[in-house]
A and B are shown apart, each in its own frame.
Chain A
Amino acid sequence: MNLSDYEKDGVAVLEPKGKIMGGPDATILHEKLHECLEKGTKKVVIDLAKVDWMNSTGLGILISGLTTLRNNGGELKLSNVTDKIQSLLTITKLVTVFEAYDSTEEAIESF
């Protein structure tokens, strides 16, 4: 997984690319989220357009990202969720906790 990021209207947008799996991916995403929190950015959108696959550990990373932000008074939203990930979110009922949007702009505006 590669991770790039930018900020727009006070919202941090993270763009992971590739597969989100366990191991180093968890550390990279955690560090990035903590970086955002330290800078005072509590609104984060993860753009999943370029994520082809995610396993259970990857899903765990998203969940822990969400809890981290919420515990600090922030919010994590998802955008460009692929069908595969959407079905994963549906099965696990995570759709009820993750707000998912069709585009990053919509996600940013929703804050």
Chain B
Amino acid sequence: MEILQKIVAPVYFIFGGILLFLAYTIVRDNPRHRTNRTTGMMLFFAALGPIFLALGAIVKPIASAQAPFEDSIVYNLFYIWELFFPSFLLFSWVYPVDRLSLMKHRRLRYLIFFPHLFHLLLVLVFRNPEKILQFLEFKSGEGFLSLVLEPLSALMKWMVLGFSLLISSEKTLFSLINFIYIGLALYYIIRGRMLMQNAQIRRQTTILVGGIASAVGIYMALFLIPNLLNIDIPSGVKSGGTILLLLVGGGSIGWAIIRHQFLDVKVIFRQSLVYTISSGILVGLYILLVGQADRMITSVFGSQTNLVNIAFIILALILYKPIINRLDDLIQKIFIRSRSDHRNILERLSRRLISVFDLEKIHEMIDQTLRTTLLVRHVYFIQYDDRLSEYVLLASEDYPARMIISRDDRFLGAVGQLESPAVIDRLEEYRRGSALGEAMTKRRVKLILPLKDADHLLGFMALTEKVTGYGFNTEDINMLGVISNQLVTVLTNARLYADSLEKQRLDKEIAMARQIQLDLLPEKPPASDSFDLCAYSMPSLTIGGDFYDFIHSGDGLISMVIADASGKGLPAALLVTQIQAMLRSEIGNKNDLPQILYNINTHVAETTSSEKYATLFLGRFNPNTGEFAYANAGHNYPILVKPDGSHRLLKKGGMLIGAFAGAEYEKDTITLDKEDVLLIYTDGLSEAMNEADEEFGENRILDYVVSQRHLGAEEIINGVLEEMKKFDSSDPPRDDTTLIALKIKGNVNDR
């Protein structure tokens, strides 16, 4: 018990100091906000309680019988702290629900302080009524003046006597008043809590209300109820209880600020708060230890106290740094890594965003994060929609219809000029006459976060005010700036991802087109003992503009065709597919070669633009007679090599297909003999190019076929391709490459 009495004063001082610091921090952080001011005031008066108690504990032992402690100014000023009760009631009118602005009787907020101010006056002035009575007696009995003064003096005497009566029962009376105030305040706070919708705010309120209510409850049990019922509580219990209630009350407010964004105090202030409180506790411990050690040493050695003090200071100096470091780590771990810390919000958000490509999920995540951590009421997204090629205000919970924004919207234009987050008031002049601006006004948007990449606006985020009614501080705006930058990256990634999906889909379709094209090529060239026929085709892209075909027309004749459409890829493939289909039907109709080419050319020229054309070589071979009729529509000249090494080029025909409607064609008929070699090819072969920009060329092909004319059709194709590869090793080839080789095996007369 004795130890408790010894440490009571410093502990009270520390708690008082911490409460004062809390009050200061809260008001300093946002002096314009009513909740901050009210909470600050409440804490200030609450702090006076332990501070005066500490002063009292110091003064009491030195008070003498002539000037008892109960008469001293310190003792009576103690009652200032009772202003805590009206300020607590006022606090309950502001938090968690602001009732004050709705209240009709504006003076009520001042009137509630009146009873306690009166109480203060009472105890300061009327503690010793005898003195005042003496003073009043002295004045009476002085001629005319007394005529006026005497009734006044009598009145005063009666008043003083009345007050004295009050004084005798002041403790009971004001305990009752405080009791009522506390009851009212708790009622308002608990009712207010029930009205809160936001889970974060409810949690915050629970901690705050729980803490304050327990503190006040302890106070009632220790002081108010004993006062009312005239019960004596041992002073040791009182001191212990007071420390406990300060711990619970102050602690809950601190905890609510640090972990639950009570009053939306900036992170930096929250940190300093933690440091202050923990240093306070450390100092308290130090004082306690030194006091204890001092006493013990004194009792053993007499009076060598100085030495102990010096020893402790040295010890403290040595231990200071490591202890502070440990404390630092602990604080970081326990307090600052909270959900509401901006660095943690960013870290968590970016970790989650990085793996998401679904725009809807991204929006949901950001919406969720901003609403639970910054306590923003609503988040709206305005985004450029690639499919619509328009900016769109996306649907939200409260406005389920999306809105397409016209490109020349004034407000949108103004947002496009922004480089960083901006309060909407900065764009005031653009709001009028803009559909988007009006939508923003209707949604009570307060903050605009532009989403810009290097050169254009991807959209923006629009934030309403916070649920708490607090504005956005610089810390919030900095964080939101980082989030919007991150969002730009994520949106760009998401778009690239969508593009790559689109490309994959396209690739799949092209692969399908390629399959169709392959299916259109003859599976195997016609085979016979009398001739050897072979074909090869390799597109430079997955699908190409070359094709070849062999068509039996029923009369024993074999039509062979090779064609090369201008350009490459899908457009070229479409053109050759069209030509191939027409060829099959024309050959089926048994038309003559010039007529077939005339029909196809005119049709293609009339249905496609003139820069889309194809070159085509069409031959009709009679294996029985060796007769070979052909018409060349602007195609590379096929090479015919005779067994003796002489050769001719098959030039006869006409204009390339598809450029000029009405062009006429001619045919030529030759006879193929035993060991003759015919090579038909597209320009992919002749125009293959080496590193010196030299073409493979017709002459090299000719030389090869002449020198290798003894080989079979397949060997000739493989050989010429090998030669080409030596020249130009591009794989796939630069241009579509197609070859047909025909080798006559038997003599016509042998057949």
**Interface residues of A, Cβ cutoff 8 Å to B:** 22, 26, 53, 55-57, 59-61, 63-64, 66-67, 91-94, 96-97
Q: Is B660 an interface residue (CB 8 A)?
A: yes
- Quick one: given A59-B566, A63-B611, are A97 and B635 in contact (CB under 8 Å)? no
Measured in the bound complex, the distance between the Cα atoms of B682 and A92 in whole Å is 12
Name the one of A56, A91, A97 contacting B566, with C-beta atoms under 8 angstroms. A56
Name the one of B609, B634, B636, B683 contacting A93, with C-beta atoms under 8 angstroms. B634
Q: Does B683 lie within 8 Å of A97, measured CB to CB? A: no
Minimum C-beta distance from A53 to chain B (A): 8
Minimum C-beta distance from A69 to chain B (A): 11
**Interface residues of B, Cβ cutoff 8 Å to A:** 564-567, 609-613, 615, 633-637, 653-656, 659-660, 683, 687, 693, 735
Name the one of A22, A55, A67 contacting B610, with C-beta atoms under 8 angstroms. A67
Measured in the bound complex, the distance between the Cα atoms of B633 and A32 in whole Å is 30
Name the one of B610, B655, B687, B693 contacting A92, with C-beta atoms under 8 angstroms. B655
Nearest chain A residue, comparing its CB with the CB of B649? A91
Measured in the bound complex, the distance between the Cα atoms of B654 and A92 in whole Å is 8
- Quick one: given A67-B659, A97-B660, are A91 and B635 in contact (CB under 8 Å)? yes
Nearest chain A residue, comparing its CB with the CB of B633? A93
Q: Does B566 lie within 8 Å of A60, measured CB to CB? A: yes
Can you name 21 A-B residue pairings with CB atoms under 8 Å? Answer: A55-B687, A56-B615, A57-B611, A59-B566, A60-B567, A60-B611, A63-B610, A63-B611, A63-B613, A63-B659, A64-B610, A67-B610, A91-B636, A92-B655, A92-B656, A93-B634, A93-B654, A96-B655, A97-B655, A97-B659, A97-B660
Q: Which residues of B contact A91 (CB under 8 A)?
A: 615, 634-637
Considering residues A57, A67, A91, A97, which has the most beta carbons from chain B within 10 angstroms of its beta carbon? A91
Q: List 18 additional A-B contacts (Cβ < 8 Å) besides A63-B611, A91-B615, A93-B654.
A: A56-B566, A59-B566, A60-B611, A60-B613, A61-B611, A63-B610, A63-B659, A66-B610, A67-B660, A92-B615, A92-B655, A92-B656, A93-B634, A93-B653, A94-B656, A97-B655, A97-B659, A97-B660
Measured in the bound complex, the distance between the Cα atoms of B342 and A23 in whole Å is 51
Nearest chain A residue, comparing its CB with the CB of B567? A57
Name the one of B564, B633, B653, B655 contacting A56, with C-beta atoms under 8 angstroms. B564
Q: Which residues of A contact B565 (CB under 8 A)?
A: 56
Q: Which residues of B contact A59 (CB under 8 A)?
A: 566
Q: Does B634 lie within 8 Å of A94, measured CB to CB? A: yes
Q: Does B655 lie within 8 Å of A57, measured CB to CB? A: no
Name the one of B564, B609, B655 contacting A94, with C-beta atoms under 8 angstroms. B655
Considering residues A60, A66, A94, which has the most beta carbons from chain B within 10 angstroms of its beta carbon? A60
Nearest chain A residue, comparing its CB with the CB of B683? A56
Measured in the bound complex, the distance between the Cα atoms of B635 and A93 in whole Å is 9
Q: Which residues of A contact B567 (CB under 8 A)?
A: 22, 56-57, 60
Q: Does A26 lie within 8 Å of B656, measured CB to CB? A: no
Considering residues A22, A61, A92, which has the most beta carbons from chain B within 10 angstroms of its beta carbon? A92
Measured in the bound complex, the distance between the Cα atoms of B634 and A94 in whole Å is 8
Q: Which residues of A contact B634 (CB under 8 A)?
A: 91-94
Considering residues A56, A67, A96, which has the most beta carbons from chain B within 10 angstroms of its beta carbon? A56
Minimum C-beta distance from B733 to chain A (A): 13
Measured in the bound complex, the distance between the Cα atoms of B369 and A79 in whole Å is 70
Q: Which residues of A contact B564 (CB under 8 A)?
A: 56
Q: Which residues of A contact B633 (CB under 8 A)?
A: 93
Measured in the bound complex, the distance between the Cα atoms of B660 and A96 in whole Å is 11
Considering residues B636, B637, B655, which has the most beta carbons from chain A within 10 angstroms of its beta carbon? B655
Measured in the bound complex, the distance between the Cα atoms of B637 and A53 in whole Å is 20
Q: Which residues of B contact A60 (CB under 8 A)?
A: 566-567, 610-613
Nearest chain B residue, comparing its CB with the CB of A92? B634
